[in-house]
Structure 1
Amino acid sequence: MRPSSLATLAGAFVLKQENISILNCLPFSPRHTTPEKFYIEACDEGADAVLAIDRVSNEMTLTGKKDVPPSAVTRPICGIMGTMRLVAGMYLIVITRKRNVGSLLGHSVWKAVDFDVISYKKTVLHLSEIQSQENKTFLSMINNVLTTDGFYFCTDYDLTHTLQRLSNTSPDFQEMSLLERADQRFVWNGNLLRELAAQPELHKFALPVVHGCILFTES
């Protein structure tokens, strides 16, 4: 079997927010702040790539660690589930805690345990009372779904294909990012990753997640 190429950034990420505490980014926070960005920084040794998300224009760009403001508040995350537009605007969905469930051909398989849904907006004052209530309802529905057991991911192995399929692929296939080569039928967060999928240079930050049951037994 051919070895799987490293197709996404491994390990942990750091979410940095310019001039704002993470507490001020919770949904429905009324505090007004000046426009800033999310910075997603990989913790891989030697990695310099940083994903910058403009919280006003929603634009996603690739930058470097030197561009992250020193005043940015740091918070560790395990990966990006994707983005979603609700009534109030765009939201960033991240994995905040993971648990190792086993190893597949030497590749660690992780179970996503906790998530956070972070609003791009700092306030919902632009919403009417009805819109605000609808937004709260949608957020509650999303959080209920995320508490469902069975979200798994691997940063350096494709969980969406069978071993037989992976053993009979071309070198070009092996060089693709995990997002590009994944069988979209089994990528639970495929729609959430559409913004990242549209920009190939950002694929390294996209984390395909499958939903189901993965069990490891000792032989």
Structure 2
Amino acid sequence: MEASSSSPSSSSSVTVATGDRFRLHDRLELLEFADKYVVKSFESPNRGFSISREDGDIQPLDGADVDPPVRPYRTSTIYGVAGTIRLVAGTYILVITSQKEVGEFLGFPVFRVMSMQFLPCNEALKFSTSEEKRDEAYFMNLLRIVESTPGLYYSYDTDITLNLQRRCKLTDGWMAKPIWKQADPRFVWNRNLLEDLIEAKLDEFVIPLLQGSFGVAELKLKDTPVTLTLISRRCTRRLGTRMWRRGANLQGDTANSIETEQLLETEGFRSSFLQFRGSVPLLWEQIVDLSYKPRLRIIDNEQTPKVVERHFLDLSQRYGDVVAVDLTDKHGDEGLLSAAYANEMKTLPSVRYCSFDFHHFCSNSNFDKLQILYDQVSEDFEKQG
């Protein structure tokens, strides 16, 4: 059940001289001492920072860190620092321990995080109460789940959270800014974890991670080589697992929203097609139980019209003209939800609402019936280019 919108395709070239482009340190040395961790660049050993193992305090490298008088008891290679988090009795630093190059975005290499690890900076834990130690152990188990978060992507050379259409509207010199300043905060998975690094002005080490999917294919249109890139960006607002998180909040943010960009590049021409999907933007919930399809409940709230208005105002300001495609079932609980959605959309003349019973038309893999939906929106596609 999604609300979708599409945005005009763009043909443009985004090129910035290497000297004007901000780049992150890509290969880091992690030195472990009894009292601190030291992270520094292999390329520029004088660039880096230390983190106290006592209290998590972050400091840029000084002379003693660059050429330490005492040998570290362990040295390893890491590929980035994803941020820090403070628990009951100390701070933990999240580092990328392995990665894999998966393709290019607008000519810049993109990497997938293959493994991460939290390093403890919590020497104060030994002075904590037994209750605090139990709480810390509980939260540490949650951090181990974070370490295995799937589908995290990043680039050392460019921001991948920003679609091509928005890039084309940016002023000259934008790519000279630190990558975290270029990023769209809606799609930065580790935004809250980066605060300490940002505050310490360690821009060269601040990596915005995108959660979603990324794929590249080399094709041919007749005899012309074409690169097709598909990138999905998961929004950090109103996150949650399916069933447990539904509908919109009072600000109009919908559950599990995802922007998908299809990039087509050939002979200097670039086209960007965007779709934004999310939960139906009403106030509703689905109470999880042991049934195969839990009942859903529409929440009666006088704020509902404003919620819908805020949702589509945000979309139109970001993407331009919006076509909202309602894919819900037209029977049972979903039918009630669809009817409520359609009723609210009558008050938004600036947004075209299109209802398509996907379950009815495309059951048993009858995807050729999608032509019915395409016929309804083809004129809008033409307008959007």
1:188 partner SS: coil
Aligned residue in 1 for 2:347: none
Q: Which protein shows a greater Rg?
A: 2
2:38 partner SS: strand
CA distance in 2, matches of 1:92, 1:153: 18
Residues 151-199 of structure 1 deviation map (CA, whole Å, 9 limit, x = unaligned): 1111111111011222332223221100112111111101000011223
Range that drifts further, 9-18 or 89-98 = 9-18
Greater per-residue helix proportion: 2
CA distance in 2, matches of 1:90, 1:71: 24
1:125 partner SS: helix
**CA positional deviation for 1:6:** 4.1
Contact in 2 for aligned 1:8/1:206 (Cα 8 Å): no
Range that drifts further, 51-60 or 188-197 = 51-60
**One-letter identity of the residue aligned with 1:49:** R
CA distance in 2, matches of 1:98, 1:204: 18
Please, which runs of 5 or more residues in structure 1 have no aligned partner?
21-35
The 5-angstrom pairing of residues 1-219 of structure 1 reads 1-3=14-16, 5-18=20-33, 20=34, 36-44=35-43, 46=44, 48-63=46-61, 67-68=65-66, 69=68, 70-72=70-72, 73-122=74-123, 124-200=125-201, 202-219=202-219
2:86 partner SS: strand
CA RMSD in angstroms, aligned pairs only: 2.0
Residues 10-48 of structure 1 deviation map (CA, whole Å, 9 limit, x = unaligned): 321111122x4xxxxxxxxxxxxxxx222111122x453
CA distance in 1, matches of 2:141, 2:210: 22
Aligned residue in 1 for 2:6: none
**One-letter identity of the residue aligned with 1:2:** T
Paired residues, what number? 201
Percentage of pairs with the same residue: 27
Range that drifts further, 135-144 or 57-66 = 57-66
**One-letter identity of the residue aligned with 1:172:** G
Residues 50-90 of structure 1 deviation map (CA, whole Å, 9 limit, x = unaligned): 21223335332222576331512311111001000011211
**CA positional deviation for 1:95:** 0.7
**CA positional deviation for 1:125:** 2.0
TM-score (norm 1): 0.83
**CA positional deviation for 1:218:** 2.0
Please, which runs of 5 or more residues in structure 2 have no aligned partner?
1-13, 220-385
1:192 partner SS: helix
